[in-house]
Amino acid sequence: MIVAVACVPQAPLLLPGVTGHPVPEVEELRAAARAAVRDVAESGVDEIVVLGAAPATRTYPPDAPAPAGRIAPAPDRRPEADPLPVALAVARALLEPCPVPWRLEGVGADESARAAAEAGEKIAALPGRTGLVVAADGSARRGEKAPGYVDPRAPETDALIRDALARADTAALLALDPARCAELLVAGRAAWQAMAAACRDGEWTARLRYEADPFGVAYFVATWERAGEGRAR
């Protein structure tokens, strides 16, 4: 059963060494994301599932090399090993070190809403108290310097996502339109829908901890706690 959730951005800037020197906007975002992840790790869970967009829905080994090249340095890259998708690499960097066992699960970025939901349902069926750390971004079309330039539809879609995260509205997340999200470069759509399916059987206390678009991409940090669970004593 899922008992605690942290939603964090999948921003490559959060990977170690990418910015080269401290950037105030990145440090603020990192602090909020780490606090959310820490809440999940300290909630008395038996295991944490790290969920993020990937080329295909599959499990990744915990020691898979980080993405290399322009996105992040990876001096320990093993040629025979597939690198982690950026979303999972970012979440792993925010999670470590972690006092409880964890695993990395990718959900195909282009999966249908139904397929993403099925991936989430499998996570929900795991035994014991499970925590979720979900790396996902909103639209990347929120300004002239944004990766996708400007799209006037972006604020409306991001507001819908923000409100859903702030209210633990799983139905709203499951209703996100994959085609529209693709047009708006919403990198987190499939991961959020998997998360929503994993959590739709419960009552949740939600908290939106961060909302901004400092680089033209909508970033959110939120935590959900299953009502009545609280933290293990």
List, for residues 28-43, the tens digit of each pLDDT value.
999 999 999 999 999 9
DSSP state of 31: H
In angstroms, the first-to-last Cα distance of the chain is: 18
Rounded to an integer, what is the distance from CA 64 to the centroid of its chain?
Answer: 18
Residue 31, number of CB atoms within 10 A of its CB: 13
Residue 96, number of CB atoms within 10 A of its CB: 11
CA–CA distance, 187 with 116 (Å, rounded to integer): 13
**HEC secondary structure over 109-169:** CCCCHHHHHHHHHHHHCCCCCEEEEEECCCCCCECCCCCCCECCCHHHHHHHHHHHHHHCC
Determine the pLDDT at residue 230.
57
DSSP state of 5: E
Determine the pLDDT at residue 228.
79
Determine the pLDDT at residue 1.
94
Determine the pLDDT at residue 20.
80
Smallest CA-to-CA distance from 165 within 132, 202, 204 is with 204
Determine the pLDDT at residue 81.
65
User: Does CATH place domain 2-226 in 3.40.830.10?
Assistant: yes
Domain boundaries, the chain: 2-226
Cα dihedral sign, 2-219-16-107: positive
Determine the pLDDT at residue 231.
53
List of the chain residues with pLDDT < 50: 69-80, 232-233
Tokens at residue 146, please?
């944004």
Determine the pLDDT at residue 5.
98
- Could you tell me where the DSSP H helices lie in 42-112? 86-95
Per residue in 84-103, pLDDT (tens digit) is 999 999 999 999 999 999 99
Q: How many CA atoms lie within 13 A of 178 on its CB side?
A: 14
CA–CA distance, 45 with 62 (Å, rounded to integer): 18
